[in-house]
Structure 1
Amino acid sequence: MNNEREILIIDDDSRNIFALSAVLKSKKFRCVSAISAHQGLKMLSENKNVGIVLMDMMMPEMDGYEAIEKMKNDTDLKDIPIIAITAQAMTGDREKCIEAGADGYISKPVDVDELVLLLNQLID
């Protein structure tokens, strides 16, 4: 991954943001975060240095599915890779996330090695 680009973590649980940020920073990734999909979309429109988004799928107000749809329908954001992250690791969830427009899928608790591998595959 180009370490000049940032990973935007969008999750309504600050503990998840803290844990993911700490692990990714230890792997030399640069992270920024948002505690809602609305805040994340605003950050994306203002920060052109985001290279990938880690999107929690279950959030109040606007869930990850709606946020992904908004990103994919925005000409400035549609090419930013999105990794769906969800605790709802049930049969069909991966397919549902990919169908919604996510470029990758990770279930919670996050397997760090799997996440780093996916990040390296998706970002320039």
Structure 2
Amino acid sequence: MMKKKILIVDDDPRNIFALKLTLKARGYQIESCTMAQVAIEILQEKEIDIVLMDMMMPEMDGYQAIKMIRNTPGISEVPVIAVTAQAMPEDRQKCLDVGAQDYISKPVDVDQLMIAIEKLS
């Protein structure tokens, strides 16, 4: 079975690097970018199964990006897992309210991340 293709969106290349290594080691295909605007373009061009969206980014943050994805025909159904350093319960709710399927706090717990991804698979 083909493993999922995951798009990692994070303004910190080190976070992308770490997640990429982890997920590639588990057989996932990875696309990545450092800006939400670019993420939306990638989603429109490629077959992406799951998005890992950093919520705190300059220019367009994850909340705006998820809203845009949800309102864009053709990509509105792509599952998004919000990844954020803000770990308060209300932050989690805010992520789910804008349309994220799940929520993971930073630093990313790999086991937790894998459970979130498998749930959407």
Per the shorter chain, which TM-score range? over 0.9
Aligned to 2:87: 89
Report the Cα distance in structure 2 between the residues aligned to 1:86 and 1:52, rounded to whole angstroms: 16
Aligned to 1:100: 98
Give the drift of 1:2. 4.3
Give aligned pairs, total.
121
Runs of 4+ in 1 over 2 A off after TM superposition: none
Report the Cα distance in structure 2 between the residues aligned to 1:35 and 1:118, rounded to whole angstroms: 22
Aligned to 1:58: 56
Taking structure 1 as the reference length, the TM-score comes to 0.94
Q: Which runs of 5+ in 1 are unaligned?
A: none
Deviations 1:59-98 (A, max 9, x none): 0000000000000001211110000000011231111100
Aligned to 2:89, the other structure's residue is in SS state: coil
Matched, 1:35 2:34: yes
Report the Cα distance in structure 1 between the residues aligned to 2:44 and 2:19, rounded to whole angstroms: 22
The code of the aligned residue for 1:85 comes to V
Task: Let me know the Cα RMSD of the aligned residues.
Answer: 1.1
Taking structure 2 as the reference length, the TM-score comes to 0.96
Counting aligned pairs with the same residue, the percent is: 50
Q: Write out aligned runs for 1:1-124 (5 A).
A: 2-3=2-3, 5-47=4-46, 49-123=47-121
